[in-house]
Amino acid sequence: MLLNRRNFLKSMSAVGGAAALDGVWPAIAEAAETAKGKLAAAVSVDVKHVKSICVHCVNFCGIDVETANGVIRSITPDKARAEFHNWGICPKGVSGLFNTYNPYRLKKPMKRTNPNKGPAEDPKWVEISWDEAFDTMAARLKKIKADNPAKFIWQHGHGKYLIGDQFPKALCAAFGTPNLVHRTTTCESARHVADELTWGYHGILPDVDRCNLLLNFGANYFEGEQWARWLDHSVIDARERGMKLVSIEPRLSQVGAKSDEWVPVRPGKDVVLLLAMAKVLIDDGTLDEPFLTTYTNAPNLVKDDGRFLRDKDNNPLVWDTRTNSAKPYAEGVVPALKGNFNADGAACRTSFQVFADSLKDITPQYAEEVAGVPAATVTRLARQYAAEARIGSTIMLDGQSLRYRPVCIHTFRGLSAKEFGVQSWRAGLVVQMLVGALDAVGGLHLHDVFKSPKYMEAAKCEYPPKRVDLAGSVYFPNGHHDVCQQVALTLLDPKAFGLAYEPEMQIFYATNRPFSTSNAMQQFEGLKKTWNVVIDVVMTELAWYADIVLPDLTYLESWHFAPTRWNIGAKHSAIRQPVVNAFNIPHDGYSIIFELAKRLDLRDKYLTEVNSKWGLKEHKFQPGRDYTAREAVEIIWLDKAHEKFDVALEKGFVGKKVKPKDLFTGGGSVEAKFKGPGKPKMALYAEHMVHTFAKVEETVKKNGIRNVDLERYRIAYSPLPIKEHAFPTPHREAKDFPFYVITHKSMYRNQSGNTSTNPILNALGPDTQENRIAINKAAAAKLNVRDGDRIVIETRIGQVTGKARLTEGIRPDTVAVSYHYGQWSPGLPFYARKGVWINKVLELHPDLVSGMNSFNDTKCKVYKA
């Protein structure tokens, strides 16, 4: 019997004349369960569960997808993953099925028939077949390959995680172009590069299970940061056992709301706060001197020119306290940590002494003036940090005595999305070195220390640049993670940057690059210079500028050897497997790439590159045949996971716990790579940056390069964080703009694309439908602004308008806007086009070291609309 109104009322007769509500609801529940049972008996329902990975963001949560008769019914966390990674999933993950069943999805290939490109231009789309699309693309690519393969650019953002960037890397390598560009400079590349310059690789996590004091500089892991779905529950557990959490950020984030203390620092000035804390630690003598001497280059002698004193074999020298002479740090040498010396007539100081001397004027009082944090708070935080560090202590884990420093400084975009982002995070690393907290139990865990020693050498600084994004060139010498926002700027005038060719064609995979970047309108101008193909699931703003648009499958429809997030206690391998194909779309990013390789007569060369890029050893792709996405995933799984593929299909993943001794003393640890004489050393003093700047200066003068400001590079490439790093360009120049404007993530939207069209996310309430401009109540009162009023943010490059949200959870000199709103593409539904497109008015002054986008440096005016 089906449940209709009559049968429901009949079932409800049990309620009778019950007067109390607590008697009604159990009866309703009982009636519903009875009806549910009768419905199941009357209708055959084939219920299945598929274990997979959510890829809405880069947390890669394990999910359990339930289908009924081939239709997705629910998405819930995979309970088996809780032991290794995520306990829950976010609203985006729960409602992901609506992105798959979204009627606004792209379903057929389309080509542009209007050659003019712009926000107000109608592309006059014409539907075409897949064959026509592939033929058109292949014909253009063949001509480019015959001329100069570098004229082809592949760009991806989230596409890296949808199929794995090894496949597009293999295509570009087989084709011969150096121009594959990822999105990391709009994410956290400055943090990565700071790590790489300091300890030879990247990847950090706080050891929250054993930490007692966590200073969080702007990482919002209760909403949308990487590792959010591991850090959220891990930090809550740590808080319950007694860990203190201090959030240091201009806006009270979700993390700040759950902290013991919120320290509202002025935007962009964190580096001065950290340096003032370092001064307190040094002045108080609360230092881990054995760590600094044994693991870091703090004892290395520095000459007046900023370079290390070296012997004839180029070994850096330390001051040996046993012989009172300069020697390489070898067995029997006891280095001095502090002091000024004279070695064979050369005046020199230890690296540590250089750092300590540089802090002479960076007092807590100076930090109060610059960073807006009371001097007493700066001093208290530093001393609390030193006390909780338990300098010199050890702890027994797995039968081993290990360094124990249960304090940590953590960040994500908070310290990195700035003009001097590398140096801001370097300051955080240096403070942690002072107490020995790096890679100690309870401190900041480093991942694969010294995995790439080249990062701790002077950069190449090539000119003319080979790549269109200028990564590795004199413009961005340490752009190790590409410089995605630079591509469009180079396209506007390639000769201005010394590029020896003019790019002709771009393929964009799962990215809305220009929309997601500072000074966004200039980014769109660059798109007019090339013939563009966009692969995506919805008509993004970038797709509006395409010449051909290809639909993609969603993460619930496609195969992938899925990326996962390692953490302090576990690592795992996983697959993503299709649950449905809602609109019978025949291709995704993987098969599009494979088809292009075939039509370009590059299939076997492509497969060889796939084996190389994935690092396959026992199981490999063989030449002479095609591979479906499922077959590809099986090969990679067998080689990487060392388990039968049936395990992947049934469980979706395999996990492994990591023993503490492997974490803290294994081959990738500080203990193994840096400790003691004769070993490389962690860079408290980054001398290689001095050498890199010298190369920049030489190259600029030799080639007469006019668009490089050497003084800015001199500051950016300081071997130590300095107070000048707290004064990015807008802070120095925009004198008549009193407010700082910062951006942040939202739990409800991500990737500036398909989540904006999700009707469930947009129906959760007014805060999910559109973003608002957060402004301090006192500041708003002076402007006669009330909650909900429409206000204007005006910067030196434009203005946007949005609704005010009055709050006490933000500094009076700051306004904040989440950056996943304000879409304008006519191909998106009306409800996706609400809110403020804040990137339109953010100035772009990228970090000259890493190329990181400067999202949090702009100054603005605010007034009623």
3-state secondary structure of 76: strand
Quick check: 548 pLDDT over 50?
Answer: yes
Bridge partner list, 739: 860
Quick check: 11 pLDDT over 50?
Answer: no
What are the backbone angles phi and psi of residue 246, rounded to the nearest 5°?
A: -120, 125
The CA distance from 500 to 854, in Å, is 28
Quick one: pLDDT at residue 42? 58
Quick check: 34 pLDDT over 80?
Answer: no
Quick check: 462 pLDDT over 80?
Answer: yes
Query: Which of 96-105, 194-203, 557-566 has the highest mean predicted lDDT (pLDDT)?
Result: 194-203
Question: pLDDT exceeding 70 applies to what percent of the chain?
Answer: 95
Confidence band of 762 (pLDDT split at 50, 70, 90):
confident
Question: pLDDT exceeding 90 applies to what percent of the chain?
Answer: 88
The first and second tokens of residue 460, run together, are: 């190449």
Alpha carbons within 13 angstroms on the beta-carbon side of residue 417 total: 25
The CA distance from 648 to 629, in Å, is 15
Out of 217-231, 373-387, 521-535, least confident range = 217-231
Quick check: 61 pLDDT over 70?
Answer: yes
Burial class (CB in 10 A: 0-12, 13-18, 19+), 538: buried
Quick check: 184 pLDDT over 80?
Answer: yes
DSSP-assigned letter for residue 160:
I
DSSP labels for 9-25? HHHGGGGTT--SHHHHH
Instruction: Tell me which residue of 795, 797, 777 sits closest to 786, measured CA to CA.
Output: 777
Quick check: 37 pLDDT over 70?
Answer: no
The CA distance from 191 to 225, in Å, is 13
DSSP labels for 77-118? E-GGGGGTS-S---HHHHTHHHHHS-TTS--S-EE------S
**Cβ(432)–Cβ(443) under 8 Å?**
yes
**Cα distance between the two ends of the chain:** 59
Quick check: 67 pLDDT over 80?
Answer: yes
Quick check: 40 pLDDT over 60?
Answer: no
Quick one: pLDDT at residue 757? 87
Confidence band of 5 (pLDDT split at 50, 70, 90):
very low
Quick one: pLDDT at residue 16? 32
Q: What Å distances lie between residue 14 and 6, 20, 23, 37, CA to CA? A: 14, 14, 10, 17
Alpha carbons within 13 angstroms on the beta-carbon side of residue 135 total: 5
Quick one: pLDDT at residue 14? 29
The first and second tokens of residue 385, run together, are: 């940090």
The CA distance from 599 to 329, in Å, is 58
Quick one: pLDDT at residue 38? 54
Give the count of beta carbons closer than 10 Å to the beta carbon of residue 713.
Answer: 19
Quick check: 551 pLDDT over 80?
Answer: yes
Q: What is the pTM of this model?
A: 0.94
